[in-house]
């Protein structure tokens, strides 16, 4: 800003400290302006004028500037700025509202004091210099800025709507995938891939063999579904079958309260998964002794499913896609799949689809915190739309292609949002350059 006409804020504006503590606010008919973005109300006012309100002592909001032209009162964490010499330095406050917010980071950086609790004192703010524009230029540029702001808000709405539509589209893709609609043409071209019934017989044979060899236990008694209307239609070559019937076993993590250590074996919980995302990067450790106890009868492998059983992420499912050794907490459910007969990514698709989300939310049992828990019995009895193996693979591949397109579109939206976010700064920069 070396080529600009720089004038101290104290020369352009009178500064007055606000008077009301937020804790003493009494809801009323007058505007109460604090450092926060949203305004409150109070039953009394201290000023009736046009002014800028500058946040001078508020963590996270330092330097935020509001414009007001009404009856108001302000927080004692703010300064009230009004034009000082209207003859020598006429001020369009709406224009300088944009200027202050544009220069916010620079003003704060050069005027703040304190370490644990940063603030800006009046003296520092008075002495800080900002560009002064002739009043005709202020009036000219405020029209451009207001118009730009309106355009910016319209674009932000359109971009936000685009993001919402993409999220809806992904959910539609998942739902149509588990109903066989995505692969209808593929299925017609591949009539000889067999049926889900034939695949189920292979699974039953393998499961009986493992039980006989005592490698797995006989499945536990299941709980009847509480959702009567599952609202799903599937092709004739598919089955709607309990998850327990097509998996080796389903269990959860240790119910013992873990004793964490600084260095030890990896221990994961529900925070390590999101829909389709296995996230083991941040974890805690348990001792070798505890680890061995925790993995008894529940050792995880690549290709297994992990799903949230408690908390906000109930039913969210991801595939273990890495060769890692770790134990899990009770907040996670473990689905041990038959990898030669089922595609784990397909099963995760079912859980993360609108159908799966509806089932999980409709089968939450009491206990497990305020959000309840997804009972193992209900997980075992989850009716899975089950296609032949080759079609499972085709479904996963098709979803991946479609989601890649969606992600590319979302990336474009995010890039456009960045451009939109910079619109105001671009116009103000032009104003500064043409001062």
Nearest Cα to Cα of residue 92 among 146, 128, 31, 17: 146
Q: On the CB side of 78, how many CA atoms lie within 13 Å of its CA?
A: 28
* Largest Cα–Cα separation, the chain: 97
- Residue 135: C-alpha distances to residues 87, 89, 433 (Å): 11, 8, 16
C-alpha–C-alpha distance, residues 214 and 241, integer Å: 24
Would you say the C-alpha torsion 380, 335, 266, 278 has a positive or negative sign?
A: negative
Does residue 393 contact residue 232 with C-beta atoms inside 8 Å?
no
| pLDDT reported for residue 268 | 96
CATH superfamily of 6-132: DNA methylase specificity domains (3.90.220.20)
What is the pairing mode between strands 265-268 and 326-328? parallel
**Bridge partners (DSSP) listed for residue 337:** 247
| Residues 6 or more apart in contact with residue 216 via CB below 8 angstroms | 207, 210, 248, 249, 336
Pick the CATH number of 195-387 from 1.20.58.100, 3.90.220.20, 3.30.420.10, 3.40.50.12160: 3.90.220.20
Give pLDDT, residue 2.
Answer: 47
pLDDT, residue 141, reads 83
* CA distance linking residue 295 with residue 322, whole number of Å: 17
What is the spatial distance between Cα 366 and Cα 381, in angstroms, rounded to a whole number?
A: 18
70 token code pair = 């009404």
**DSSP annotation of 384:** E
Q: What is the pLDDT of residue 171?
A: 94
Q: Nearest 5°: phi and psi at 322?
A: -135, 155
Q: Provide the 10 A C-beta neighbour count for residue 422.
A: 12
Do residues 128 and 15 touch, judged by C-beta distance below 8 A? no
Cα 217 to Cα 170: distance, rounded to the nearest angstrom: 38
How would you write the pLDDT of the chain (435 residues) with one tens digit per residue? 445 688 999 999 999 999 999 889 999 999 999 988 889 999 999 999 999 999 998 767 899 999 999 999 999 999 999 999 989 999 999 989 988 988 888 999 999 887 667 889 899 999 999 989 889 888 888 877 777 777 777 777 787 888 888 899 999 999 999 999 999 999 999 999 989 999 999 999 999 998 898 888 876 555 555 444 567 899 999 999 999 999 999 999 999 999 999 999 999 999 999 999 999 999 999 999 999 999 998 899 999 999 999 888 899 999 999 999 999 999 999 999 999 999 999 999 999 999 999 999 888 876 544 557 898 999 999 999 999 999 999 999 999 999 999 888 888 888 777 776 676 666 666 666 565
Q: Can you give the pLDDT at residue 412?
A: 84
pTM: 0.69
- Given a contact cutoff of 8 angstroms between Cβ atoms, the answer to whether 435 and 4 are in contact is yes
Tokens 């497990």: give the residue. Answer: 368
Q: Which residues contact 369 (CB under 8 A, 6 or more apart)?
A: 310, 311
**Mean pLDDT for all residues in the chain:** 88
């Amino acid at each position: 800003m070396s080529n600009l006409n720089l004038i101290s804020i104290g020369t352009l504006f009178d500064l007055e400290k606000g008077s009301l503590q937020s804790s003493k606010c009494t809801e009323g008919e007058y505007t109460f302006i604090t450092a926060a973005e949203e305004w409150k109300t109070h039953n009394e006012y201290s000023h009736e004028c046009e002014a800028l309100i500058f946040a001078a002592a508020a963590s996270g909001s330092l330097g935020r500037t509001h414009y007001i032209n009404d009856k108001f009162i302000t927080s004692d964490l703010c300064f009230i700025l009004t034009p000082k010499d209207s003859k020598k330095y006429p001020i369009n406050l709406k224009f300088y509202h944009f200027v202050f917010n544009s220069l916010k980071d620079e003003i704060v950086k050069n005027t703040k004091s304190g370490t644990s609790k940063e603030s800006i004192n009046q003296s520092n703010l008075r002495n800080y210099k900002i560009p002064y524009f002739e009043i005709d230029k202020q009036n000219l540029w405020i029209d451009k800025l207001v118009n730009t702001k309106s355009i910016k808000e319209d674009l932000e709405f359109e971009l936000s709507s685009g993001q919402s539509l993409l999220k809806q589209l992904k959910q539609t893709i998942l739902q149509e995938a588990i109903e066989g609609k995505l692969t209808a043409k593929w299925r017609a071209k591949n009539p000889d891939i067999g049926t889900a019934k034939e695949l189920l017989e292979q699974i039953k044979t393998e499961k009986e063999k493992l039980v006989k060899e005592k490698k797995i236990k006989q499945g536990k008694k299941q709980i009847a579904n509480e959702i009567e209307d599952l609202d799903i239609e599937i092709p004739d070559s598919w089955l709607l079958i309990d998850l327990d019937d097509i998996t080796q076993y389903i269990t959860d993590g240790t119910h013992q309260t873990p004793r964490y250590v600084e260095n030890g074996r990896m221990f994961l919980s529900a925070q390590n998964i999101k829909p389709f995302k296995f996230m083991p990067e941040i974890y805690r450790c348990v001792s070798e002794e505890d680890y061995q106890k925790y993995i008894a009868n529940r050792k995880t492998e690549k290709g297994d499913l992990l799903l949230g059983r408690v908390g906000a992420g109930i039913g969210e499912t991801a595939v273990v896609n890495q060769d890692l050794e770790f134990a899990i907490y009770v907040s996670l459910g473990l689905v041990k799949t038959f990898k030669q007969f089922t595609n784990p990514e397909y099963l995760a698709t079912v859980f993360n689809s609108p159908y799966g989300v509806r089932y999980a939310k409709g089968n939450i049992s009491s206990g497990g915190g305020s959000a309840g828990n997804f009972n193992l019995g209900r997980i075992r009895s989850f009716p899975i739309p089950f296609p032949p193996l080759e079609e499972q693979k085709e479904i996963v591949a098709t979803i991946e292609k479609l989601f890649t397109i969606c992600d590319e579109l979302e990336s474009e939206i995010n890039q456009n949002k960045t451009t939109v976010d910079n619109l105001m700064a671009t116009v103000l920069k032009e104003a500064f350059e043409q001062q």
